[in-house]
Structure 1
């Protein structure tokens, strides 16, 4: 299993358009980017590949990184930075199955699968495949399981991708607070690689109108506001899940410049062989 991090940033990415903060300037000086979130997973046994979330930066990502176009896709939730890149399927794919959860979201009245189908009803070359959380399905020769996480007010999902032939396991937290349900944590546990959302360091919770939550024994918030993990929360989750290796993704340009490029914060283009 070959995992390529196409997009490791949050909803505005780093550098952020029009921003001259120290972190954005340093990113430009280093020539690194954190575009909107997307992960490419290639089954090197079959040559097939799966794309997790369709970033608005889809075109740039596939022109920049040496990965094949996906044979299938998966959408974790319906925020624009995870779904709007699907419009790039126009004139690019002949047939693209796109997997998404089938649970009805009380906030929208639709499941993620239904939202994808209605939003992109003009794309006759994609077919939406509704999947039930906790029920493993196979795509691209890999076993995928969606699990609910905590990203109010919308339903959102983390997931695992496993290769039954090699035993390799990738877990993605999805966009979430630290308050991931125990049954979801059980599925996510013991990955070879964990991609954990870590939007900002815990020190910035003081600037959020709602502060932080899910405090550790030393009073450090593991959740920023209500729906994203802090760096400290993501690292605590990695310990909880017994992850062999962890990369922090979906990070914002609000990280102080002296912390923004430290390990284990990921940048676009990283490749992992599991």
Structure 2
């Protein structure tokens, strides 16, 4: 399968609108972007495409990367930067199967699937498929498993996507703290490629109103606040999952300019053949 990173940024992306910080200026000078998060997969065997999350930058991302429009999609959670691009399929896609978790979120009283269906009820091409976490489902010829992660206050899911014929595996951490449940770690384990949420480097935790959490033995915080991993936390998770290759995503423009484009921080447009 071919994996294209359509969007590797956080809620505001990099460059951020109206921002002249050193990192945003450096991104402009380099001609690189981190738009809001989204991942595109092509299954060459079946000639089908799968989209992970609907970035608000959907239209621009597909025009820029010139990848096929999706035959199906998965929504990991209902934050706007992962869902609000769904409206872009209007008059663009004739039929689209959208998979999302069927577990009720105590915060909203609805599952992710129910929220997608109710909020986008006007989109006739969309058929929502409530999906049980930790149970694989075949989508576009690939085995996709939702893995619950910790992203308070809303439920959120990582993903394992495997090609049943080649054994190639992509794992996506989802928006999460370092506190990924053991059963989900087992699902995400041993990927050829891991896309891990790493919103900022650990040294910036001092600027978060509640600081950092899940410190390692050296006292380095692996979670920034409560919702996202630090760079250091994401790399530790990658090592624990025995990832063959790791790219850090969902990156904020708060990375200092001298660190913002170092390996293994991803930028939009990267492609990987698994």
Q: Which string of whole-angstrom CA distances, capped at 9 and with x for unpartnered residues, describes residues 177-209 of structure 1? A: 000000100110000000000000000000001
The whole-number CA distance in structure 2 between the counterparts of 1:117 and 1:183 is 28
User: What is the TM-score with the length of structure 1 in the denominator?
Assistant: 1.00
Deviation at 1:25, TM superposition (A): 0.2
Deviation above 6 Å: which 4+ runs of structure 1? none
Q: How many residues are treated as equivalent by the alignment?
A: 274
Match in the other structure for 1:118 = 118
Deviation at 1:122, TM superposition (A): 0.6
- Structure 1 SS opposite 2:51: strand
Deviation at 1:14, TM superposition (A): 0.1
State how 1:153-192 maps to structure 2 within 5 Å. 153-192=153-192
State how 1:1-274 maps to structure 2 within 5 Å. 1-274=1-274
Cα-Cα RMSD: 0.4
Deviation at 1:66, TM superposition (A): 2.3
- Structure 1 SS opposite 2:23: helix
The whole-number CA distance in structure 2 between the counterparts of 1:185 and 1:260 is 27
The whole-number CA distance in structure 2 between the counterparts of 1:265 and 1:47 is 30
Deviation at 1:44, TM superposition (A): 1.0
Structure 2: 5+ residue stretches without partners: none
The whole-number CA distance in structure 1 between the counterparts of 2:189 and 2:66 is 30
The whole-number CA distance in structure 1 between the counterparts of 2:125 and 2:228 is 34
The whole-number CA distance in structure 2 between the counterparts of 1:14 and 1:93 is 28
The whole-number CA distance in structure 1 between the counterparts of 2:29 and 2:192 is 32
The whole-number CA distance in structure 2 between the counterparts of 1:136 and 1:63 is 31
- Structure 1 SS opposite 2:28: helix
Deviation at 1:62, TM superposition (A): 0.4
- Structure 1 SS opposite 2:238: helix
The whole-number CA distance in structure 2 between the counterparts of 1:135 and 1:186 is 12
User: What is the TM-score with the length of structure 2 in the denominator?
Assistant: 1.00
The whole-number CA distance in structure 2 between the counterparts of 1:179 and 1:91 is 40
Deviation at 1:233, TM superposition (A): 0.3
